[in-house]
Amino acid sequence: MTARAIIIGAPRSGSGKTSVTIGILRALTRRGLKVRGAKSGPDYIDPGFHTAATGLSGVNLDSWAMSPSLLNALAAQAADDTDFVILESAMGLFDGIPASPGRTGSAADLARLYGLPVLLVLDVSGQSTTAAAVAKGFATYDPDVRMAGVVLNRLGSERHRKLSGDAIEAIGLPVVGAILRDPSLNLPERHLGLVQAGEYDDLMAHLDRLADTAEKSLDLDAVMALATPFAPAAGSFADALRPPGQRIALAEDAAFTFLYPHVAAYWRNAGAEIVPFSPLADETPDEDCDVCWLPGGYPELHAGKLAAAVNFHAGMARFATTKPIHGECGGFMVLGEALEDASGETHRMLGLLGHSTSFARRKMNLGYREARLRADCPLGAQGALIRGHEFHYAHMTATGNDEPLADLADGQGNPLGASGYRRGHVSGTFFHAIARS
């Protein structure tokens, strides 16, 4: 069976492409098709919705952070034994960073590489025929990126649909969907993006509402007809992040959620066992594990509960005496001495590293990163180059006296200085690892 695929893109974030993507994924799944969601770029949250909507694990495909060989391997895995792959763009379709051709991190890279058509989602609120000018710009901007159809989103009326849709079809682009403005379809957001799929009490009900809207407002048969065969070239997992141990104690709850699906999947496929535990439930890492991983998430929203988790604190201190612990972003914050929450209250953290962080005075840090490790740690061996991403609002209020973990550069190779800390068996950084460089 050869999978078929299409990219869902938009001019910018906030156009509604995630709701459209989830609605299509869920609607096609309800028809009995095997559908998988994919996300361009370094997004943790949307793949969780894709997985919930389809029952098949979502995946990130990142043309900057992943080598071409790893990208092909993951794309081929996504297409295997699947009817349709719906690939959602991050931000705007062409948004990436200045880089060598095909390595910008944009969804347009994936459209060129795999010859995939684009379904363009246009938020036409506040405009009518001008939407055709936007659509024409997308259609002509890059001849190697083909716009196959348009979905009109946030329409105010039937007249609004006709004005916008007729103008777009007059330039030769089919309009395959028209969605009326409905705030109840919006997914709630917070500072790092959408509220996560696992935090909904009625998640499936909301996903089914999105699917009902897709069935009613889109020509799903036409959308499926626009998709083209998806057959990536042969690839290799040689550049995937190695499992940091044979048995990996993984913090997993509402405070610790940001582990890329492809990272966990590769660890398991390589023979490692992931043993989850919940710091918020005052659980400790299994002492039979040989490494502990604290992923990113939202510890700033749960700082008081984490501070009061005495068993968690004691268990982590015991684990650190003999075995490696690594924390990424939120996990890194929890490894430090203290965390100041949004209200300005300071909470005691694990104290396994000497820094302190604050979420009270926010400053956004965002962008691709490449790290050269200064010492062996769960990310890799000394000298290894790791590509990844940084996205957080917290900042350091005290640096402590620990040794730096890595030397960091941005996505264009500009040096950013030392990053993260290490002490004994403990290491951590704000930087989220995606793949080996």
Active site (catalytic) residues: 329
Cβ neighbors of 158 (< 8 A, separation 6 or more) are none
C-alpha span between 333 and 351 (Å, rounded): 10
Going by C-alpha positions, the residue among 245, 258, 261, 254 that lies closest to residue 279 is 254
Are 201 and 177 in contact by the 8 Å Cβ rule? The answer is no
- CA 66 from centre of chain: 14
Phi, psi of 48 (to 5 degrees): -65, -40
Are 4 and 227 in contact by the 8 Å Cβ rule? The answer is yes
Beta bridge partners of 428: 327, 421
Q: What is the CA radius of gyration of the chain?
A: 22
- Per the listing, tokens 């009270």 go with 360
- Per the listing, tokens 């998988």 go with 36
Q: Provide the phi-psi class of 41: left if phi over 0, else alpha when psi is between -120 and 50, else beta.
A: left
Tell me the residue ranges of DSSP E strands in 230-303.
247-251, 273-277, 291-294
Are 110 and 142 in contact by the 8 Å Cβ rule? The answer is no
DSSP per position, 148-199:
EEEEEEEE-SHHHHHHHHHHHHHTT--EEEEEE--GGGPPPEETTEEPPGGG
Tokens (6 digits) for 415: 């040096």
- Per the listing, tokens 């496929």 go with 269
Cβ neighbors of 373 (< 8 A, separation 6 or more) are 379, 380, 381, 382, 383, 384, 386, 405, 406
Sheet with 346-348, side-by-side order of all strands: 346-348, 338-340, 356-358, 395-398
Alpha carbon dihedral 249, 426, 371, 391, in 10-degree steps, equals 70
